[in-house]
Homo-oligomer: A and B are copies of this chain.
Amino acid sequence: MTTITLAEVAKRAGVSTATVSMVLRNRGRISQVTRERVLKALDESGYVYNQTAANLRNRSSNQVGLLLHDITNPFYGEMTAGLSHEMERHELLLFLANSEESCERQQKFVDSLMRNNACGMVLCAARETPRAFFEALKRRNIPAIMVVRPPDDPGFDFVGTNNFLGTQMATAHLLQLGHRNIAFIGGSLRSGTRSQRIGGFTSKLLEHGIAPKAEWLVTAEASQSDGSRVAEVLLNRYPQITAAVCYQDIVALGVMQALRKMGREPGRDFALVGFDDISEAALVQPALTTVSVAAKEIGRKAGELLFSRIQGNDEPPKSIILPPALVVRTSCGFR
């Protein structure tokens, strides 16, 4: 298949390539007559615009990257949908990559984006990403928006949830139901997100005159099984605990398992709040009360911000922190 070029269309229309180019992009002043002749020629020839050539000439592109660490996680699926929608509005193409928490793959993707002259990117960086990665990224001087996982480096735009407020709401809910012995279960020590959530938790306790106990703040991997394991140890040692705020819904599901194993029924003998509002939360018995973060909205907002940066917005880096919402179901009892 021979590709038809601008030049060929121009010859067919009996004009110059400059004219055709202008008609194509509605620039400059072209007379109605010529315009129509060109449009006709374009139509007849089956011309396909060569974005690559244009990009080369313009030292630009219409392509942005999205890097996630787990595209399989429904939360990121939602987020991707939000971002994708926003990109489409601006005629931008979206490159997707899944780092699977590998810093190496992550770096490769970013390098690839640079080679391909991408005009921006949205990143949810792998957990152990070295500082050097961010430093290098800043030197590249390409718009980059961080999402969900707040970067240590304040030099980047960020869109995420108000983790602090989220656990404050969760904790307030438990306090209001009369609980005083409340644990915090889950998350990794090195996680910044966890720090924020812990902050909301302890600050709310203190507001109510309760001193948080360090022994009741335990970490867990992001899995049901580890949530269960950890909860069992904790609750066996401290049976006086009657409620918990969990770092994630999956962990909360694990805690439920542990409770049952120990003969305590979640929602009746123990109150449980999760975080994320994954779809399972609504399905389990008792349905999990949880903090909902609007994943789609994070994607949309990240897209909006990225687009403005691409357009040249050079305000200082900003953080867009979306407000969470407490979804009250039945895992804290009925009322």
- Chain A residues 261-301 with CB under 8 Å of chain B are 279-280, 282-285
Contact A285 B282 (CB under 8 A): no
Q: Known interface pairs A52-B55, A56-B52, A253-B279. Does A84 touch B97 (Cβ–Cβ under 8 Å)?
A: yes
Q: Please, how many angstroms separate the alpha-carbon atoms of A62 and B84 in the complex?
A: 21
Contact of A114 among B48, B84, B100, B112 (CB under 8 A): B48
CB-based nearest B residue for A114? B48
Q: Does A237 contact B (CB under 8 A)?
A: no
Contact of A282 among B70, B117, B224 (CB under 8 A): B224
Contact A81 B71 (CB under 8 A): yes
Q: Could you tell me if A283 and B284 are in contact, using CB atoms closer than 8 angstroms? A: yes
Q: 1/0 per residue A73-103: CB within 8 Å of B?
A: 1101110110011001001011111101000
Q: Mask for A115-135, Cβ within 8 A of B = 1, else 0?
A: 111000000000000000000
| Assembly CA distance A61 to B3 (angstroms) | 15
Selected contact of A280 from candidates B84, B88, B114, B284, CB within 8 Å:
B284
A225 to B64, CA, bound (A): 34
Query: With a CB–CB cut-off of 8 A, which chain B residues contact A240?
Result: none
- Looking at the complex, which one of B48, B59, B96 makes contact with A96 (CB distance below 8 Å)? B96
Q: Is the CB of A3 within 8 A of B84?
A: no
Size of interface on A: residues with Cβ below 8 Å to B: 56
Chain B nearest Cβ from A102, distance in angstroms: 10
Q: Who on chain B is nearest to A91 by CB? A: B112
Min Cβ gap A46→B in Å is: 9
Closest CB-CB distance, A303 to chain B, in whole Å? 13
Kindly supply a per-residue 1/0 record for chain A positions 181-222, scoring 1 wherever the CB is within 8 Å of any chain B CB and 0 otherwise: 000000000000000000000000000000000000000000
Q: Taking each of A56, A114, A283, which has the highest tally of chain B beta carbons within 10 Å of its own beta carbon?
A: A283
A56 close to B59 (CB less than 8 A)? no
**Which residues of B are found within 8 Å of A116, using beta-carbon distances?**
51-52, 62-63, 93
Question: In the docked arrangement, what's the CA distance between A100 and B116, Å?
Answer: 27
In chain A, positions 137-153 with a C-beta closer than 8 Å to chain B are 141
Q: Is A50's CB within 8 Å of the partner chain B?
A: yes
Query: Given contacts A56-B53, A279-B72, A284-B283, is CB(A93)–CB(B94) below 8 Å?
Result: no
Q: Which residue of B lies closest to A78 (CB)?
A: B72
Q: A88's contact among B61, B73, B105, B114, by CB below 8 Å, is which?
A: B105
Q: A257 at interface (Cβ–Cβ under 8 A)?
A: yes
Measured between beta carbons, the chain B residues less than 8 angstroms from A114 are 48
A250 to chain B, nearest CB (A): 8
A/B interface sample: 18 pairs, CB < 8 A? A1-B141, A50-B117, A51-B115, A51-B116, A52-B55, A52-B61, A56-B56, A62-B116, A66-B96, A71-B77, A88-B108, A93-B112, A94-B96, A256-B283, A257-B283, A280-B283, A284-B284, A284-B285
Shortest 8 CB-CB distances between A and B: which pairs? A96-B96, A51-B115, A77-B77, A84-B98, A51-B116, A49-B115, A52-B56, A72-B81
